[in-house]
Amino acid sequence: MRIAFVCTEKLPVPPVSGGAIQIYIEGVLPYLSKHHDITVLSLKNDNLPDEEVVDRVRYKRLSGRTKSEYLNNLRDNISNEYHLVHVFNRPLWVMPLNQQAPGSAFSLSLHNEMFLPNKIDRERALKCIATVKFITTVSRFIADGVKGLYPIAEEKLNVVYSGVNPSLYKPIWLEKHLPERKELRKKYGLDEYKVILFVGRLSQKKGPHVLVEAMKSVMETHPKTALMVIGSKWYGANTTDAYTQQLQSMTESLKGPVVFTGFLPPAEIPKHFSIGDIFVCTSQWREPLARVHYEAMAAGLPIITTDRGGNAEVIRQGENGFVVKDFNRPEAIAERIRYLLDNRHIAKKLGMAGRKIAETEYNWERVANQLLELFDSV
């Protein structure tokens, strides 16, 4: 079957600049391309050719200085040659693209709350739902949100949790990985500390400021504790704004070391997870389900996350991590951090359980197999 993957206008594939959707696409392609002829349509990038074939997958990268320019270029590249057009996270694009390829089947992959009234009007939402053969969502939270607004969509909704490649991550308790872990920690001046790790965009809705506040009290009682923040304001760059400047100013009063790495290419992320001892996700918004949870599990880190959106769906309380209900209260985060610092055997047990869950449930092969079943049903 000839399938077109229609990526969003934000970032290119492969994920040279990061992006959860782009990482998702890259993760499943090696499995899907064994069964189907796939073309990936994504944003043009100066570091990538406009068109190429790699490992049986055809890539076409289109210019898009604006969303409308990108959509127009997509329309020029979509035709009835495709048996299925799989649109990522843009329900508004389904109908315009379907007009270009009325003989193709369409499906939708949802990674955010894209059916909210401020994202799409009811008339076009209903037309999109009627047109697509199926809708995949990255969490039950996203699926339930669509169903709540449009009950007619229920039979087309399929929760397909994202995944990770566990082989790229090196569990921190395995002896063979300790030399590299020690070397990386030494590079950042953290070899004598227990490291609390944050990975994500530096935005208010991701909540790193809540973690910084929590670390004030943690470092008071546990002076050999450090904070590492991996990420930047936006994908692929290290631009700053008032929030990132405020965040860095807040850390000046902390008693322990704080490291801001800035943006790291996706290929660098797995090894940097091995620096941490505890992973904390402080999402303050209705997070669809942050993929950093899968990465932290693969790295064998105990997880502390907030009960926002779909995050809690991959956490088994007390088994691979803890979900904090009081998501905006720093002391609630601090309490869980101190508990894991004081109970290292429990922290290790949670990390080991998370690694096993990542290997058996949240791997790319499982994601691809779920998608293959849906593709074959078209």
Domain boundary assignment for the chain: 2-163+363-376, 166-360
pLDDT class of 172 with cuts at 50, 70, 90: confident
Q: What DSSP character marks residue 158?
A: E
| Tokens 């959106």, located at residue | 309
Query: Hey, which residues does 52 pair with through a beta bridge?
Result: 59
Q: What is the DSSP letter of 56?
A: T
pLDDT tens by residue, 214-248 = 999 999 999 999 999 999 988 777 888 999 999 99
354-372 as b/e, with b when 16 or more CB fall inside 10 Å?
bbebbeeebbbebbbebbb
Q: What is the pLDDT of residues 27-62, one digit of tens each?
A: 999 999 999 999 999 999 999 999 999 999 999 999
Average pLDDT, integer, range 307-333:
97
- 284: nearest Cα among 315, 263, 305: 305
The CATH label, of 3.20.20.10, 1.10.238.10, 3.40.50.2000, 3.40.50.720, for the domain at 166-360 is: 3.40.50.2000
**Confidence at residue 167, expressed as pLDDT on a 0 to 100 scale:** 96
Residue 235's pLDDT is 78
Mean pLDDT, rounded, for 203-207: 96
DSSP assigned state of 164 = B
pLDDT (0 to 100) of residue 55: 96
Q: Mean pLDDT throughout 63-83?
A: 96
Average pLDDT score, the chain: 96
pLDDT score for 315: 98
H/E run at residue 199:
strand 194-199
Residue 1, pLDDT above cutoff 90: yes
pLDDT at 173: 87
| CB contact at 8 A, 189 and 199 | no
Mean pLDDT confidence for 68-75:
97
What's the confidence (pLDDT) of residue 220?
A: 96
Q: Which of 281, 30, 288, 56 is nearest to 162 (CA)?
A: 288
Read off the amino acid at residue 222: H
Fold of 2-163+363-376: Rossmann fold (3.40.50)
88-94: average pLDDT:
98
- pTM score above 0.85: yes
Predicted pLDDT at 238: 85
* DSSP conformational letter for 203: S
Same fold, 2-163+363-376 and 166-360: yes
pLDDT of residue 237: 78
| pLDDT mean over 108-118 | 98
pLDDT at 234: 81
What is the rounded average pLDDT of the residues 342-365? 98
Burial of 186 (0-12, 13-18, 19+ CB in 10 A): exposed
